Structure 1
Amino acid sequence: MEDFRLVIITGMSGAGKTQVSRHMEDLGYFCVDNLPPMFIPKFAELCTHSSGSVHKVALVVDTRGREFFDKMIHILDSMDESGMKYEMLFMEASDATIIRRYKESRRRHPMAPNSRISEGIAKERERLARVRARATHIIDTSDMKKSSLKEKIIRWFGNSSESNSMNITVVSFGFKHGMPLDADLMLDVRFLPNPYYIDSMRHKSGAVPEVAEYIWKWPVTKEFVAKLNDLVEFLVPNYIKEGKSQLVIAIGCTGGMHRSVFIANRVYTLLCNKGYRVNIEHRDVFKNEGIEHPQITAVID
């Protein structure tokens, strides 16, 4: 299968292989941790015959495999001879960094379960030297921020559409039904004029043009939306830069039917026009009996 991609993740214990594996999963890779090296070719072959359901695989192979790991070089040689394509990412860090991480986690080093961590690091570096020489990518995480590691993994193993990989969800809700527990950014729009008190609009959501026009005609709405747009345009790229993978923007009014729906639609449209990956959810709109709510959002300019 021409588009099949196999990445072998290896390297020093405590250098960040687990974190890399999580990022690879977010990129759609099928990840397997602590796979004995002799199973790599057969596993890759099985994946290539999966009718395209598995076309990106990341395998974590390291010294936890004990005596099995010693066969790693021979396995790589046989894969090269057979023409099997693969990439190998080697993770490393300074001795001081690895020691600090192990002390913080209170775990034993796999190469020195009954002795000092520094002894285990020395043994592991020696054992990994030949494997490191075969690596196609090397990352030293000693002074690297988590966001920088994620950015590098996306750049090397993702695609262009995943550079803005944060998933954004805009949620409208009613405070009387409770606040969303997963909200990262919450806005209260109960200060805006309320169409609920107009009989002809009471049972129509903020996505209905008549209601949207009513909310939008007030100067306070226009001023608020302008300030909100500035805030969103500032925050979102900075969240992405920091490595945030999900953002939930919750917008609430009293019942989650009029004002929050209208403002949520505005934010959703803004983010769509900026090219972000965004979903919208009107959580409480149908908790109001007999509500008229069109499927296509209405945004009034």
Structure 2
Amino acid sequence: MARNESTPVPQNNEAAPDIVIITGLSGSGMSGATNAFEDLGYFCVDNLPITMLQTFARLVTRGEEEKGIRRAALVIDIREGSFLAGFEKQLFALRATGLAVYVLFLEASDEILQHRFSETRRPHPADNGPGLLRAIRAERAAMSRIRAVADQIIDTSEHTVHTLRNLLLERFSLDRKGGPMRVQVLSFGHKYGNPGDLELLFDVRHLPNPHFVPELKRLSGHDRRVVRYLRSQPEVEETLRRFGDLLDYLLPLYKREGKSYVTVGIGCTGGRHRSVMVANELAARLKRAGFDAYAIHRDVKLAKRSG
């Protein structure tokens, strides 16, 4: 069974994949993912024929001895056509060589893929006349068997090129052995949709909303006046304490299970005031506790434009 985006990835030199197979839906970010693996030191090959996997594997194996190709990332997609039917058999044979092979499947919603293709004006590789949406759905069906055997599935609908790159660099980095757990605290607005890549989600819509305070409405949770207002509310202080205590308890357990990267979502209505302030406070607390913690604010700019 395929694992989702929260699946931990080996983070040390001994356990890191020898071969990462990057696959998925056209427009989901495979090119950006390939660039990220190049930055990680992987030898990258785009559109390698499936029938060449075994031959290529011998080059990687030989690289262990001759300091040639040590790790590789291969892109396999719908351009393989009828050869896709042989993917599972080739994957089994590839793993039988003893190499650590990791299948990374990227996807996105139909609406997002339509938007991306419309923006770039590139033709969809599966569009032979029936229209873009039908081509996207046909590709999704054609790639479903590969998706089913993937080690990790990432929905890139809510990712930019930069956030996807950072995600892959953080999760597949080869130099984090023995380092502190990395914790991303992500603020967002429920009105813009919930993130799909969270280990934990805290809803802070129960807290007093600065949106209804005229002098604070157009500010964000970064502003000292908003922070001061929220911290003056007893329920905010108690919520921060209880969330912090829960994270202090849970994160070491996640690390014990092999996780080196955890994303904690903090959601309010618009992602502008409460979630931003709480995410910043929790990230600061976790950093003081020795975690490699940082806050990212997905919707604060969207909220400013709409408000």
Matched-pair contact (CA < 8 Å) for 1:47–1:54: yes
**Residue aligning to 1:116:** 131
**Residue aligning to 1:202:** none
- What do the CA deviations read for 1:206-245 (whole angstroms, capped 9, x no partner)? xxxxxxxxxxxxxxxxxxxxxxxxxxxxxxxxxxx89xxx
Matched-pair contact (CA < 8 Å) for 2:59–2:69: no
**Residue aligning to 2:59:** 46
Closer, same or farther in 2 for the Cα pair 1:7/1:109, shift >3 Å? same
Listed as ranges, the gaps of 5+ residues in structure 2 are 1-13, 180-295, 298-307
Listed as ranges, the gaps of 5+ residues in structure 1 are 164-240, 243-301
Closer, same or farther in 2 for the Cα pair 1:82/1:60, shift >3 Å? same
Matched-pair contact (CA < 8 Å) for 2:18–2:99: no
Whether 2:32 is the aligned partner of 1:13: answer no
Aligned AA (2:20): V
| Aligned 1:89-104 pairs, distance under 5 A | 89-104=104-119
Q: Separation in 1 of the partners of 2:40 and 2:99?
A: 22
Higher relative contact order (CA 8 A, sep 6+): 2
Of residues 35, 45, 57, the one that matches 1:32 is 45
**Residue aligning to 1:158:** 173
RMSD: 2.9
Q: Please state how far the C-alpha of 1:4 moved relative to its aligned partner.
A: 6.8
**Residue aligning to 2:5:** none
- What do the CA deviations read for 1:140-174 (whole angstroms, capped 9, x no partner)? 110113332122111222223699xxxxxxxxxxx
Matched-pair contact (CA < 8 Å) for 1:11–1:62: yes
Q: Separation in 2 of the partners of 1:26 and 1:107?
A: 26
| Aligned 1:255-270 pairs, distance under 5 A | none
**Residue aligning to 1:290:** none
Q: Please state how far the C-alpha of 1:115 moved relative to its aligned partner.
A: 2.5
Whether 2:152 is the aligned partner of 1:137: answer yes
Whether 2:160 is the aligned partner of 1:148: answer no
Q: Please state how far the C-alpha of 1:11 moved relative to its aligned partner.
A: 0.2
Q: Please state how far the C-alpha of 1:53 moved relative to its aligned partner.
A: 2.2
Aligned AA (1:87): Y
Q: Separation in 1 of the partners of 2:17 and 2:135?
A: 36
Matched-pair contact (CA < 8 Å) for 1:4–1:48: no
Aligned length: 168
Q: What is the percent sequence identity of the aligned residues?
A: 36
TM-score where L is the length of structure 1: 0.51
Q: Separation in 1 of the partners of 2:100 and 2:57?
A: 10
| Aligned 1:194-205 pairs, distance under 5 A | none
Q: Please state how far the C-alpha of 1:82 moved relative to its aligned partner.
A: 4.4
Aligned AA (2:164): L
Whether 2:74 is the aligned partner of 1:77: answer no
Q: Separation in 2 of the partners of 1:18 and 1:37?
A: 18
Closer, same or farther in 2 for the Cα pair 1:55/1:81, shift >3 Å? closer
TM-score where L is the length of structure 2: 0.50
Closer, same or farther in 2 for the Cα pair 1:84/1:56, shift >3 Å? closer
Does the residue aligned with 2:22 lie in a helix, a strand or coil?
strand
| Aligned 1:275-286 pairs, distance under 5 A | none
- What do the CA deviations read for 1:270-291 (whole angstroms, capped 9, x no partner)? xxxxxxxxxxxxxxxxxxxxxx
